[in-house]
Every structure is written in C-alpha cells, then in structure tokens.
Amino acid sequence: ELKVEQNPLFLSMQEGKNYTIYCNYSTTSDRLYWYRQDPGKSLESLFVLLSNGAVKQEGRLMASLDTKARLSTLHITAAVHDLSATYFCAVEDDSWGKLQFGAGTQVVVTP
C-alpha cells in the first residue's frame, strides 16, 4: 500500500529566507504532484513531476523528484508573505489514476 509522508507539517518562515518541504513515499512511482491550498479555498496545481530527475520551477518555488530515493522536495527561495498556504504532495501509484496525498505542510511566512 502506497504511503506518503510529508514533513514538516508546519513551517514558520521568515521573509527572505529559504526553506524546503519533503515528500517521501513508500512504493515505486514516477508521478508526483504538488498543490497549494489557501484557507477556505480549493486546491491549485503547482507542479507535475513525471520522471526521475524532473525539476520544475515557478517563481520562488522549485520542485524536484528522485524516484530512486522515493523523495520529492519543494524548495522555497526568499519566502514572501504571499506564499503562506498549505502545500500538499500527492503520489500516483503504478496503477495509474489512484492518488495518495501527503498530510500537507502549513506554511506561515512572517516579516
């Protein structure tokens, strides 16, 4: 059974500093997704990572996937207040279509 572990679950960031969120999973997969959710809102897709070594960047966010280590990272560069949200990773198991979410990382960025 696929298990997805995300850490930390809560991250207090100072503006201007760099941080990383980790997403570990338990079985083979080469499809991993990152989402953002603002309080009271729906989910917004950030990145789709489909192969080992995939790296994607958008603004201050960069996501990477290491399928051998079963690990994805979401790196935040020079945090700003607008990045305050909850970030989820989700892994698709080998029977395509079935997704397992991590517990989410609540990010709060303060001056």
Partner 1 sequence: EAQVTQNPRYLITVTGKKLTVTCSQNMNHEYMSWYRQDPGLGLRQIYYSMNVEVTDKGDVPEGYKVSRKEKRNFPLILESPSPNQTSLYFCASSYRGMRGDTDTQYFGPGTRLTVL
Q: Which C-beta is closer to partner 1: that of 68 or that of 96?
A: 96
Contact status: 97 vs partner 1 (CB under 8 A): yes
Output the smallest distance, CB 111 to partner 1, in A: 29
Among 43, 62, 71, 108, binds partner 1 (CB under 8 A): 43
Tell me, what amino acid is at 9? L
Measured at the CA of 26, the angle between CA 25 and CA 27, to 5 degrees, comes to 110
Enumerate the β-bridge partners of residue 66: 71
* CA–CA gap between residue 48 and residue 56 (Å, rounded): 8
Residue 39 tokens, joined: 């309080």
Binding mask 50-89 for partner 1 (x = CB under 8 A): x-------------------------------------x-
